[in-house]
C-alpha cells in the first residue's frame, strides 16, 4: 500500500478574509510534485482549526476543507479516495462563557484524583462546536470511543491503516503553560485488530503534559504507533526514535498553515508512505511569495521499521511483568520525562569474552550481540561487580529473547527462596511465568516446546538450596533438560571464589558442555557518549536542535570524564546517571566524589524536592522517611500493612509533636516514587532508599546504646546484603569513631589465620610457570563520525592479533578458568561459609575505603594509615586464601584440566596438554590477582591520599603492594604515570604473574582514557607488549585525564 498523508495544522480561522482563503487552491496544486502512484489520500488535521472555537469560524473552515478535498479528487480524476481526519487543539476550545465548574475540576484532575464521565464531560464542553464539525464533516470511518479518544480505520487494497486520535486539548486553558496538562493514558485502548500502519495524532507535544503523565503518555503512544503527528508549536520537526525493546517511531510535527501573528508564514506536510517496502518520504511545503514549494525540493526515501510492540503475542506480558521489565531500579528523574524507566535510558555495556581457555585468548564483545550468542551457545554465564548493572542486563536479555520468540522466565537467586533440582523447580518456573505473562498457566508453560523456554537466573551466586539438595550442577542440568537456553548472572569474584573453594561449580566454565562466560565491563568512551545521547534525546527541544544537542553532549562528556579521571570510580550507569540528572537540573556535581553513597544520595535528594504536597516540605519528608526506616529496621520488616502503617504514623506524630496528614504524606512520597503502595500496604520503592534512611537513623542516634548494639550486629553480618548496604551508607554519612572501630574489628575477623599474598616470583604455586605470555596491543584508525571516534578509543584494546601458543591479555581483565573434575558433589556448608567470608571481605573493604575517602580533610593521618592498612590486609589475605586453595589442590587441578584438553583436542601430545593446563591455572591466578588488586585500589583510591600511599609502599615493598600502589597512581594521576610504570616493571622483572597484572592495569588505562600514542608506545615497549600502531595517528592527541 502507498498512501499520502497531508498534514494540516494550526489554521486559526477567524473569518473568510483570512490570508489562507486566498491560498487554499494552491495547496492542492503544490501536491502535484508528489508522484501519483499512491492508492489513498488522507487529509490529517492536527488541531487548531478555529481561532477561538466559534461556530462561525468552523463554518468558514469548511470552505478550506472542501476546496482541498474536491480539488484533490479532481486532480486524481476520482481514482484515488480522499479521507478527512481531525483532532482538536487548544484554539478549538471556546473560552468565552465563564465555566466555574470546569475551572474547579481542572486542578482536581491535575492532583491525581480519579476521573469519571461527569468530570470529563464538564471539561470538554468548551469543545462543543468542534464536536459538531467532527461528527458532521469528519465522520467517515470514525469510531468514537469517548470524548478523549477516537479512531479511523481504513482498508486500502487489502492492507490497513489505523489513525489513533487523542484529544489532548480537553484540559486546555486560555493561558496554558507547558508541563501542566494531563491525558488519561488508560483511555488509549489496545489494538483490537491488526493494522499494517498505525498513525497516532494529537495536538500538544509531550512537554505540555506534566512530566510523569507526559512520560506515561509517550510510552503508551510509542508502544502502539508507527508514525506520530503533532501540532501546536508551529515548528516543523522530524525525528526517528528507536528503543532497545523494539519500539520504532517516526515523529512529524506540523507547522502552522496560518500563523495568527505572521501572515507570511504558512506550512503543511506531505507524507508518502509505502507499507510494502517500509519506507516514506516527507515533503515540507512552505509558502514562497505566491506559491507553496517543498523543502527540500526532492526529499529522499527513508526506511521505517514497523513497531514490533504492535504485533499480537500469544504470551503478552502481564501488567506485573511489564512493570518489572521496565523498572530501571534507580530513581532517576529527567526534567522532561519525570521518573525514567529502563527503556528510556538503557545502553548495553561491552563484555569481556573469556572463553578460549586453551590458548588464553579473550576479547571484547558488544552487549547487543548477546542474543545472537544465545542462539549460538544455549548456555551463558555473565558476571560483574555488584554495581555493574547485572540485573538491568538480565532484563534486557529477557526483552531481546521475548522479541525473537522465546518465553523467558526470570528468577532472582538473591530472593532468599530455597530451590532444589526436583520437579518443584519446574513448578517454581511455572509460577513465575504466570506472574510475568497473560494467557498462560503452569500446564501450558510446561507443554511449550523446549526451544521456546529460556531461564534467566540473576544472583546465581546467592542461591539458597533446599536442605539435603545442595548440588548446583543438578539444578542446572534439570534446567537444561527442560529449557532450550539458560543464562546465569553472578558476582565475578564470588563466582571465581566458589570455583576455587568447591569443585561443585567448575562444570560451569570447564568440560564439554561448559557455559560461555562473559564479564561486564565499565563504560568506555563510546558507551558513555551513547548514554549521554540517550539522555538528551529525551528532551524534545534539545533533540530538535542538532548544534545545541552536540554542544550539551560534549559539555557533559567532559564532566563525566573529569569525575572518572580525577577521582577514579568505575564508570557504571549507577555513577553516570546521577551526574546526568544533576547537571540537567543545573546543579553542581562534586567532581571529587568517589563513593557510591554520594551518587545514590543525589538520586534520593532530587526525589525529595521534585514535588511538594501542601505544606510537606523536604525536612518533614526526610524526618518521616528516617523514622519509617528505623521502624522497619527495628521490626525486621520490609512492608507495612494498613494497620501497621497507621500505627507507625501515630507513633511518628507523638514522637515529634507534629500533625501531618497520613494520606497526604503517603500520597506525596508515592507520587515521587519513594514509597510504593500495593493495595493496603506500602514499602520503600527501591531497597537503596531504605538502606539510606536506615543509615540516617543510625547516624542520628549513634550515641544511644541500643543504636550501637544494632551497628555492632550489622558489622557481624556483612555477608548479608542489608547489613552491608546500610553500613555503606552509614560510613558515607558519618566518620564516628565508634563505627570506625567496629569496622576495623570486623576486618580483623576475615581470614585471620591466612597470611597476606605477597605475589613473590618463587612461590610454590608459580613453580611450574616457565613460559612468557605475549601480549599484543593493536590500535585502529580514528573514524570521522563521533561513534567511531569513541569506539576507537575503546577498541584499541579489544582487537589483537594472535599466534599459536601465545597468551594475549585484554585491557581490563582476562580469566583462564580452571577445572577440577567432571564429577560434581553437593556443596558442603563449610564451603558456603568460605564463600560468605569472601563476600564479607569485599564489602568490608568497600566500607572501610568509603570512610577513608569521605573524610580525607578531617580524619587524622594515623586513622587514615590504619584504614589503608586494614583494606590492603583484608584484600591480600583474601587473595592469599585463594592461592592456598589452588596450591593445595594443584595436582588434581592440573590432571583434571589436562584430561579436558586432551578430550577437546584429540591427538595432542601429553606434554602439550599438560603445558596448556598449567597456562589455564596461571590464567586463574592472573584473574584473581588482578580482580583483588583493582578492588583494593578502588576501595582506598583518592587523589588527596598520595602521602598515605607513599607511607604504604615504604612500609611494605612486596610485589602485591607495589601493584596496588601502581594501580592507585594510574587512577589518580593527572597524566599517565609512565615513570612509575617503568620503575614498577623494573622492580617486578622476572615475576611473571606480577608483570602480567601490571600489563592488565596498563591496558585498562588505555581502554578508559585517551592516552597519547607516544606514551602508549613507550609503555608497551617497556612491558614487552607488542604494539601495532595505526598509520597517521594524531600526534597532538591530548589526555582526557
Rounded-to-integer distance, Cα 878 and Cα 657, Å? 50
Instruction: Name the residue range of residue 985's domain.
Output: 764-799+881-1028
Cβ neighbour number for residue 368 with a 10 Å cutoff: 14
H-helix segments, 855-945: 861-888, 890-904, 910-940
Beta strand 227-230 with 775-778: parallel, antiparallel or unpaired?
Answer: unpaired
Do residues 209 and 183 touch, judged by C-beta distance below 8 A? yes
Q: Is 899 left (phi over 0), alpha (psi -120 to 50) or beta?
A: alpha
Q: Which three cell numbers stand for residue 332?
A: 532517576
Compute the radius of gyration of the chain from its Cα atoms.
32
Domain match, 536 and 459 both:
no
261 CB-contact burial (10 Å; exposed 0-12 / middle 13-18 / buried 19+): exposed
Residues 6 or more apart in contact with residue 558 via CB below 8 angstroms: none
Domain match, 352 and 489 both:
yes
Q: Which three cell numbers stand for residue 675?
A: 514509597
Which residue, 812, 794, 795, 758, is CA-closest to 958?
A: 758
Rounded-to-integer distance, Cα 875 and Cα 881, Å? 10
Edge-first strand order for the sheet with 675-678 is 640-641, 681-684, 675-678
First to last CA, the chain: 55
Domain match, 357 and 372 both:
yes
Do residues 50 and 13 touch, judged by C-beta distance below 8 A? yes
Residue 269 lies in a domain: yes
Residues 6 or more apart in contact with residue 691 via CB below 8 angstroms: 722, 725, 726, 728, 729
pTM: predicted TM-score of the whole model, two decimal places:
0.65
Q: Please identify every stretch of the chain with a pLDDT value under 50, giving residue numbers as ranges.
A: 312-313, 357-360, 503-504, 613-614, 780-786, 788-789, 792-793, 795-827, 1031-1041
**pLDDT tens digits, 866-914:** 999 999 999 999 999 888 888 887 787 788 778 877 877 788 888 888 8
Residue 165: give its domain's CATH number: 3.60.21.10
Domain C-terminal end among 585, 603, 621: 603
Do residues 127 and 87 touch, judged by C-beta distance below 8 A? no
Do residues 264 and 308 touch, judged by C-beta distance below 8 A? no
Edge-first strand order for the sheet with 149-156 is 142-146, 149-156, 159-166, 197-201, 227-230, 248-253, 237-242
How many residues are there in the chain? 1041
Residue 328 lies in a domain: no
pLDDT at 311: 53
Residue 359 lies in a domain: yes
Domain match, 269 and 404 both:
no
Q: Which three cell numbers stand for residue 22?
A: 486566498
Do residues 429 and 308 touch, judged by C-beta distance below 8 A? no
Number of folded domains that form the chain: 5
Residues paired with 683 in a beta bridge: 676
Domain match, 66 and 39 both:
yes
Domain match, 276 and 172 both:
yes
Domain C-terminal end among 473, 489, 520: 520
890 CB-contact burial (10 Å; exposed 0-12 / middle 13-18 / buried 19+): middle
Which residue, 424, 403, 313, is CA-closest to 411?
A: 424
pLDDT at 764: 64
Q: Which three cell numbers stand for residue 1009?
A: 582514557
pLDDT at 561: 78
Residues paired with 305 in a beta bridge: none
Q: Is 1024 left (phi over 0), alpha (psi -120 to 50) or beta?
A: left
Rounded-to-integer distance, Cα 655 and Cα 26, Å? 75
Residue 873 lies in a domain: no
Rounded-to-integer distance, Cα 48 and Cα 88, Å? 6
pLDDT at 797: 36
Residue 923 lies in a domain: yes
Domain C-terminal end among 603, 619, 634: 603
Do residues 77 and 68 touch, judged by C-beta distance below 8 A? no
Residue 786 lies in a domain: yes
Q: CA of 320: how far to CAs of 392, 432, 438, 525, 945, in Å?
A: 17, 11, 10, 35, 48
3-state secondary structure 775-804: EEEECCCCCCCHHHHHHHHHHCCCCCCCCC
Residues 6 or more apart in contact with residue 453 via CB below 8 angstroms: 406, 407, 409, 482, 483, 484, 485
Do residues 339 and 577 touch, judged by C-beta distance below 8 A? no
Residue 333 lies in a domain: no
Residues paired with 160 in a beta bridge: 155
Burial 386-404 (b: 16+ CB within 10 A, else e): bbbbbbbbbbbbbbbbbbe
Helix axes 662-671, 642-656, angle to 10 degrees: 110
Q: Which three cell numbers stand for residue 867?
A: 584504614
Do residues 448 and 407 touch, judged by C-beta distance below 8 A? yes
Domain match, 615 and 599 both:
no
Q: Which three cell numbers stand for residue 699?
A: 547516624
Q: Which three cell numbers stand for residue 138?
A: 469528519
Domain match, 381 and 480 both:
yes
Give the largest CA-CA distance in the chain. 98
Rounded-to-integer distance, Cα 50 and Cα 832, Å? 74
Helix axes 910-940, 492-501, angle to 10 degrees: 130
Rounded-to-integer distance, Cα 710 and Cα 697, Å? 11
Say whether the peptide bond before residue 296 is cis (omega within 30 degrees of 0). Answer: yes
Domain match, 673 and 693 both:
yes
Domain match, 282 and 413 both:
no
Domain match, 996 and 1020 both:
yes
3-state secondary structure 530-593: HHHHHHHHCCHHHHCCHHHHHHHHHHHHHHHHHHHHHCCCCCCHHHHHHHHHHHHCCCCCCCCC
Helix axes 642-656, 618-635, angle to 10 degrees: 120
Domain match, 557 and 615 both:
no
**pLDDT tens digits, 914-964:** 888 888 778 778 888 998 999 999 889 888 888 999 999 999 999 999 999
Residue 818 lies in a domain: no
Q: Which three cell numbers stand for residue 29?
A: 496544486
Q: Which three cell numbers stand for residue 9?
A: 495544522
pLDDT at 973: 81
Amino acid at each position: 500500500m502507498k498512501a499520502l498523508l497531508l498534514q494540516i495544522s494550526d489554521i486559526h480561522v477567524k473569518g473568510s478574509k483570512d490570508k489562507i482563503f486566498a491560498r487554499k487552491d494552491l495547496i492542492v496544486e503544490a501536491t502535484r510534485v508528489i508522484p501519483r502512484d499512491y492508492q489513498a489520500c488522507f487529509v490529517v488535521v492536527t488541531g487548531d482549526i478555529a481561532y477561538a472555537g466559534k461556530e462561525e469560524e468552523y463554518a468558514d473552515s469548511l470552505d478550506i476543507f472542501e476546496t482541498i478535498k474536491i480539488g484533490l479528487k479532481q486532480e486524481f480524476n476520482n481514482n484515488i479516495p480522499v479521507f478527512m481526519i481531525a483532532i482538536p487543539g487548544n484554539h478549538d476550545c471556546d473560552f468565552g462563557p465563564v465555566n466555574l465548574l470546569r475551572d474547579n475540576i481542572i486542578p482536581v484532575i491535575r492532583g491525581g484524583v480519579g476521573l469519571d464521565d461527569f468530570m470529563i464531560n464538564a471539561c470538554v464542553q468548551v469543545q462543543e462546536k468542534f464536536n459538531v464539525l467532527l461528527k458532521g464533516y469528519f465522520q467517515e470511518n470514525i469510531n468514537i470511543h469517548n470524548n478523549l479518544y477516537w479512531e479511523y480505520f481504513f482498508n486500502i487494497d487489502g492492507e490497513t491503516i489505523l489513525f489513533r486520535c487523542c484529544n489532548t486539548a480537553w484540559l486546555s486553558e486560555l493561558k496554558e503553560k507547558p508541563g501542566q496538562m494531563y491525558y488519561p493514558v488508560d483511555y488509549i485502548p489496545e489494538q483490537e485488530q491488526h493494522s499494517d500502519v498505525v498513525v497516532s495524532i494529537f495536538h500538544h507535544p509531550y512537554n505540555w503534559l506534566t512530566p510523569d503523565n507526559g512520560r506515561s503518555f509517550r510510552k503508551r503512544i510509542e508502544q502502539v504507533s508507527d508514525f506520530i503527528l503533532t501540532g501546536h508549536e508551529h515548528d516543523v520537526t522530524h525525528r526517528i526514535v528507536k528503543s532497545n525493546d523494539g519500539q520504532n517511531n517516526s515523529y512529524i510535527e506540523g507547522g502552522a498553515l496560518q500563523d495568527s501573528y505572521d501572515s507570511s508564514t504558512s506550512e503543511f506536510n506531505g507524507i508518502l508512505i509505502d507499507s510494502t517496502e517500509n519506507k516514506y518520504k516527507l515533503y515540507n511545503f512552505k509558502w514562497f511569495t505566491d506559491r507553496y514549494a517543498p523543502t527540500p525540493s526532492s526529499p529522499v526515501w527513508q526506511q521505517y521499521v514497523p513497531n514490533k510492540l504492535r504485533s499480537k503475542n500469544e504470551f503478552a506480558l502481564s501488567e506485573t511483568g511489564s512493570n518489572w521489565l521496565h523498572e530501571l531500579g534507580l530513581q532517576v528523574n529527567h526534567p522532561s520525562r519525570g521518573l525514567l524507566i529502563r527503556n528510556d535510558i538503557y545502553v548495553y555495556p561491552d563484555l569481556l569474552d573469556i572463553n578460549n581457555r586453551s590458548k588464553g585468548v579473550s576479547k571484547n564483545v558488544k552487549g547487543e550481540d548477546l542474543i545472537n550468542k544465545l542462539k549460538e551457545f544455549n548456555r551463558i554465564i555473565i558476571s560483574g561487580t555488584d554495581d555493574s548493572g547485572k540485573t538491568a542486563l538480565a532484563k534486557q536479555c529477557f526483552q531481546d529473547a521475548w522479541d525473537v520468540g522465546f518465553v523467558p522466565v526470570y528468577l532472582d537467586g538473591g530472593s532468599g527462596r530455597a530451590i532444589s533440582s526436583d520437579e518443584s523447580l519446574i513448578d517454581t518456573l511455572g509460577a513465575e511465568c504466570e506472574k510475568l505473562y497473560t494467557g498462560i498457566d503452569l500446564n501450558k508453560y510446561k507443554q511449550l516446546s523446549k526451544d521456546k523456554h529460556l531461564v534467566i537466573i540473576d544472583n546465581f551466586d546467592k542461591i539458597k538450596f533446599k536442605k539435603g539438595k545442595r548440588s548446583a550442577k543438578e539444578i542446572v542440568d534439570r534446567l537444561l533438560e527442560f529449557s532450550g537456553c539458560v543464562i546465569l548472572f553472578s558476582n565475578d569474584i564470588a563466582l571465581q571464589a566458589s570455583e576455587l573453594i568447591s569443585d561443585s561449580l567448575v562444570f560451569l566454565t570447564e568440560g564439554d558442555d561448559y557455559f560461555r562466560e562473559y564479564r561486564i565491563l565499565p563504560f568506555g568512551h563510546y558507551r558513555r557518549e551513547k548514554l549521554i545521547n540517550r539522555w538528551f534525546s529525551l528532551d524534545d527541544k534539545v533533540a530538535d536542535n542538532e548544534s545545541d544537542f552536540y554542544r550539551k553532549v560534549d559539555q557533559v562528556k567532559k564532566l563525566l570524564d573529569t569525575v572518572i579521571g580525577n577521582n577514579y570510580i568505575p564508570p557504571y550507569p549507577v555513577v553516570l546517571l546521577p551526574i546526568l540528572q544533576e547537571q540537567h537540573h543545573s546543579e553542581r556535581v562534586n567532581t571529587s566524589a568517589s563513593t557510591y553513597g554520594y551518587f545514590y544520595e543525589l538520586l534520593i535528594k532530587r526525589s525529595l524536592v521534585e514535588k511538594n504536597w501542601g505544606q510537606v516540605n523536604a525536612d518533614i519528608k526526610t524526618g518521616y522517611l528516617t523514622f519509617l526506616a528505623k521502624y522497619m529496621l527495628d521490626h525486621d520488616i520490609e512492608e507495612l500493612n494498613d494497620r501497621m502503617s497507621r500505627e507507625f504514623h501515630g507513633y511518628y506524630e507523638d514522637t515529634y509533636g507534629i500533625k501531618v496528614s497520613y494520606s497526604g504524606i503517603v500520597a506525596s512520597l508515592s507520587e515521587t516514587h519513594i514509597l510504593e503502595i500495593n493495595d493496603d500496604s506500602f514499602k520503600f520503592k527501591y531497597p537503596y532508599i531504605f538502606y539510606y534512611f536506615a543509615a540516617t537513623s543510625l547516624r542520628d542516634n549513634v550515641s544511644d546504646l541500643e543504636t550501637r548494639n544494632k551497628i555492632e550486629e550489622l558489622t557481624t553480618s556483612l555477608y548479608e546484603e542489608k547489613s552491608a548496604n546500610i553500613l555503606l551508607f552509614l560510613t558515607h554519612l558519618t566518620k564516628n569513631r565508634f563505627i570506625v572501630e567496629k569496622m576495623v574489628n570486623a576486618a580483623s575477623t576475615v581470614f585471620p589465620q591466612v597470611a597476606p599474598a605477597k605475589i613473590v616470583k618463587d612461590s610454590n604455586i608459580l613453580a611450574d610457570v616457565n613460559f612468557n605470555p605475549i601480549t599484543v596491543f593493536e590500535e585502529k584508525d580514528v573514524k570521522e563520525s563521533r561513534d567511531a571516534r569513541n569506539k576507537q578509543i575503546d577498541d584499541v584494546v579489544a582487537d589483537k592479533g594472535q599466534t599459536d601458543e601465545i597468551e594475549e591479555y585484554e585491557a581490563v581483565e582476562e580469566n583462564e578458568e580452571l577445572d577440577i573434575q567432571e564429577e560434581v558433589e553437593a556443596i558442603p556448608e563449610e564451603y558456603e561459609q568460605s564463600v560468605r567470608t569472601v563476600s564479607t571481605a569485599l564489602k568490608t573493604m568497600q566500607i572501610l575505603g568509603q570512610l577513608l575517602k569521605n573524610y580525607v580533610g578531617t580524619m587524622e593521618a594515623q586513622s587514615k594509615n590504619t584504614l589503608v592498612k586494614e583494606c590492603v590486609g583484608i584484600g591480600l589475605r583474601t587473595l592469599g586464601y585463594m592461592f592456598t586453595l589452588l596450591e593445595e589442590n594443584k595436582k588434581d587441578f592440573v590432571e583434571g584440566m589436562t584430561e579436558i584438553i586432551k578430550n577437546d583436542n584429540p591427538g595432542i601430545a601429553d606434554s602439550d596438554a599438560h603445558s596448556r593446563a598449567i597456562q589455564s591455572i596461571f590464567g586463574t591466578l592472573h584473574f584473581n590477582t588482578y580482580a583483588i588488586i583493582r578492588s583494593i585500589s578502588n576501595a582506598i583510591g583518592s587523589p588527596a591520599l598520595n602521602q598515605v600511599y607513599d607511607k604504604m609502599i615504604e612500609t611494605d615493598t612486596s610485589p602485591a603492594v607495589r601493584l596496588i600502589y601502581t594501580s592507585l597512581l594510574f587512577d589518580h594521576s593527572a597524566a599517565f604515570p609512565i615513570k612509575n610504570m617503568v620503575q614498577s616493571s623494573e622492580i617486578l622483572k622476572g615475576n611473571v604473574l606480577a608483570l602480567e597484572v601490571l600489563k592488565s592495569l596498563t591496558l585498562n588505562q588505555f581502554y578508559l582514557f585517551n592516552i597519547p600514542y607516544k606514551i602508549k608506545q613507550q609503555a608497551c615497549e617497556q612491558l614487552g607488549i607488542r604494539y601495532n600502531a595505526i598509520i597517521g595517528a594524531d600526534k597532538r592527541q591530548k589526555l582526557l585525564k
